[in-house]
Amino acid sequence: MSTSPPAVDPIAELRARFEAVVMPHLDRLLAFAIRRTDSVADAEDAVQEACIRAWLGFADLRDEANARPWFYRILRTVLSDMREKSGRRQQLVYITRLEDAHEELVGGEHDALFSEVVSRLDGEAVHRGLRAIPEDFAAAVELHDIDGFKYVEIAEIVGVPIGTVMSRIARGRKLLAGAIMAERGGVAADARTTERRSAQGGPR
């Protein structure tokens, strides 16, 4: 009796590819979502929704080498939808205060001091700093410095020209430095807060 090769199950095969291509990025995506939500539970909900959307659109992903930025783009859309639905607003320290703190930092011989301050920051302090600056800037900085994307990939994820990515990363790091120094100096505690500036209305 002859034996025929086992039938290929296309769905199982696609699912296996999805697991192999997309799921390895889950930890990084969860961290990205945690920095943008009020709780781990909210972040997990966002990542779960992103996974479902990614699965539903997986057949449309032509180049699996682009799976990671593609997955981040979906997650950003989910997080944006969640923010819109919840009406959540980020509490921001005034931008000008952060810029002033940065100007003071680079205007003097404070390199060693800043380096020491940053080296002592724990994860919570880093998150507070990132949350104190506008989302567009924070996202660009995080996508590059934490998640390791190149500028061209960030442009694709965020949906802006590469020049805007360059500008957001440069300004985002300046504001983050200002936020770190402002908090160290107690400026943040006294600062008035304002609502998050949207991508359209916020500074570039």
Partner 1 sequence: MSDDRSSLANRAVSPSPEEAARESRHEVLRELLGAYADRELPPETVAQIDAHLVGCAECRHSLEVHHTLRARLAVEPPAAASPAFRARISAAIDAAPVPTAPRIAADARVTPGPRMLWLVASGWVVATVLALTLAVTSGSASRFTPSTRALAAPVHDVPLLGAVVDDYARVSRGDLPGRARDLDAVRAAVSFPVEPLRAPNLRLLAAWTTDVRGEPAAVLAYRLDDRLLVQYLVPEDVFFQHPAIRAAIADHHLLRAADGDRTVVAWPDSSTGNVLVGNVPTESLQSIWRSESTR
Site residues (vs partner 1, CB under 8 A)? 7-11, 13-15, 18, 23, 26-28, 30-31, 34, 40, 43-44, 47-48, 51-60, 70, 73-74, 77, 81, 84-85, 102, 105-111, 114-115, 118-119, 121, 123, 126, 141-142, 144-146, 148, 150-151, 166-167, 169-170, 173-174, 176-177
- DSSP 8-class letter at 203: -
Burial of 6 (0-12, 13-18, 19+ CB in 10 A): exposed
Least distance in angstroms from the C-beta of 51 to partner 1: 5
Spatial distance between the Cα atoms of 45 and 152, rounded to a whole number of angstroms:
28
Which of 63, 109 has the CB closer to partner 1?
109
Q: Which tokens hold the place of 38?
A: 């009020």
Spatial distance between the Cα atoms of 204 and 199, rounded to a whole number of angstroms:
9
- DSSP 8-class letter at 185: T
Which of 121, 160 has the CB closer to partner 1?
121
Least distance in angstroms from the C-beta of 192 to partner 1: 25
Least distance in angstroms from the C-beta of 56 to partner 1: 6
Spatial distance between the Cα atoms of 156 and 73, rounded to a whole number of angstroms:
8
Which of 116, 190 has the CB closer to partner 1?
116
- DSSP 8-class letter at 146: I
Least distance in angstroms from the C-beta of 197 to partner 1: 19
Which of 144, 196 has the CB closer to partner 1?
144
Which of 89, 194 has the CB closer to partner 1?
89
Q: Give percent helix, percent strand, percent coil of the chain, each to the nearest 5.
A: 70, 5, 25
Least distance in angstroms from the C-beta of 169 to partner 1: 5
Spatial distance between the Cα atoms of 90 and 134, rounded to a whole number of angstroms:
8
